[in-house]
Amino acid sequence: MLPNTGKLAGCTVFITGASRGIGKAIALKAAKDGANIVIAAKTTQAHPRLPGTIYTAAEEIEAAGGKALPCIVDVRDEQQISNAVEKAVEKFGGIDILVNNASAISLTNTLETPTKRVDLMMNVNTRGTYLTSKACIPYLKKSKVAHILNLSPPLNLNPLWFKQHCAYTIAKYGMSMCVLGMAEEFKGEIAVNALWPKTGHSLLPDMFLDEYPDPVTKKTESHGAVPELKGEKPQSPAEQRSGAVEETFRIVKDSLTDDIVKATQAVFQFELSGEDGGTWFLDLKNKSGNVGYGEPSDHADVVMSMSTDDFVKMFSGKLKPTMAFMSGKLKIKGNMALAVKLEKLMNQLQAKL
């Protein structure tokens, strides 16, 4: 078998939170080049809803062409970080690249964020990034390709990014400030940069990027326009509001399939204010799915609160869920990952609304 001659061949990459998600994706990409990957994460047993452990990730990395060292690391624990760094140096001879990917998130406002959750975000995001960098830097200084890469956003001081989740923004910006400070501190020795990928999911915001509201959304919002249902004659705003929510849910119900229910596996509850409002549900977990007025029979995985007008606009594609969420028009409680799954159904419905 020919030796791997990729750009990262032989390089040792220390990645926090590499057992799943973006961290694992980076690890697998580097593995294809023939890199040595240190999987520094705390998942040793598979989660029912989040598959993947440091050991399964190691198997995938080896299969992709790299070498793997799974290490149990909670970045809140300085000793665990130090132990993993020592093991990496002992096994691979040094560390060339550090990827600070481990992160905790809670998109909740100040009064809804428990102190325990604030501490978690600060300790994992900011403190964990700082301590892991500190532990790796002595070895990075010895590398010819030394690099630190933090998965953190641009330092955007637009109040929009603080309004709905102040604690999370502070914690993520701490990672970005590590980039700013360490890039200057170790200039000429270690390259320090940040990477902030776009998600492509409108319900999961491309946080901290001022790409919206676009002119169309601004115009719609400023004039309070209410979307028309295709195939119907224009109606007055009052007439449109009176049955638009019910009609939207009717179309949703007609669009449900077993495949959608199987792929989503979630119950959504909508708390709508204004005319034709109240509590509605969308069950994409049981049998062939169902919608209706009132609370669902099963506990809701996600609760979304907004006005009836904004609800109809969002489902018909005339209000971006991202903008609705970030501006406070849409409030989401529960599992954000499941909230994202609703986007696929919304995209299908937009052709019918």
* Residues assigned a catalytic role: 168
Query: How far are the Cα atoms of 5, 13, 31 from residue 2, in angstroms, in the given order?
Result: 9, 22, 15
Q: How many C-beta atoms surround the C-beta of residue 226 within 10 A?
A: 21
Q: How far apart are CA 142 and CA 95, in angstroms?
A: 8
Integer Cα distance of 180 and 148 in angstroms: 12
How far is Cα 120 from Cα 76, in angstroms, rounded to an integer? 8
With the C-alpha atoms ordered 235, 239, 240, 244, is the resulting torsion angle positive or negative? negative
Instruction: Return the HEC string of the chain.
Output: CCCCCCCCCCCEEEEECCCCHHHHHHHHHHHHCCCEEEEEECCCCCCCCCCCCHHHHHHHHHHHCCEEEEEECCCCCHHHHHHHHHHHHHHHCCCCEEEECCCCCCCCCHHHCCHHHHHHHHHHHHHHHHHHHHHHHHHHCCCCCCEEEECCCCCCCCCHHHHCCHHHHHHHHHHHHHHHHHHHHCCCCCEEEECCCCCCCCCCCCCCCCCCCCHHHHHHHHHCCCCCCCCCCCCCHHHHHHHHHHHHHHHHHHHCCHHHHHHHCEEEEEEEECCCCEEEEEEECCCCCEEEECCCCCCCCEEEEEEHHHHHHHHCCCCCHHHHHHCCCCEEEECHHHHHHHHHHHHHHCCCC
Contact (Cβ atoms closer than 8 angstroms) between residue 74 and residue 42:
yes
